[in-house]
Amino acid sequence: MIADEMAERLAELAPTALEIIDESEDHRGHAGYQDGGQSHFRIRMNSAAFGGLSRLQRHRLVHNTLGDIVPRIHALALELDAA
């Protein structure tokens, strides 16, 4: 599952809190929706790795850490805070 892959990769950033939510069902009938979910995600994460980084830098760090997962999904919402 994509959420499991995300959790494995984000562990590299030593999160103090991590929540990965599959919001795909909320987007049924919208662009990018696919049966079985795994298309729309929200990540809520706290990590010391975000300290001193701007919002944009935090988002880039997460996208880079997730790597090839990002193009395989339709939407990714991020709520990132420094621990």
Task: Please check whether the domain covering 2-82 is classified as CATH 3.30.300.90.
Answer: yes
Query: Which residue in 37, 22, 1, 62 sits closest to 79, CA to CA?
Result: 62
Give which of 74, 5, 68, 72 is closest to 33, Cα–Cα. Answer: 74
pLDDT tens across 19-42, in order?
A: 999 987 665 556 655 666 678 899
**Structure confidence at residue 52 (pLDDT):** 96
| Predicted pLDDT of residue 74 | 87
Ordered by start, the domain boundaries in the chain are: 2-82
Entry pTM: 0.85
Average pLDDT over residues 44-72: 97
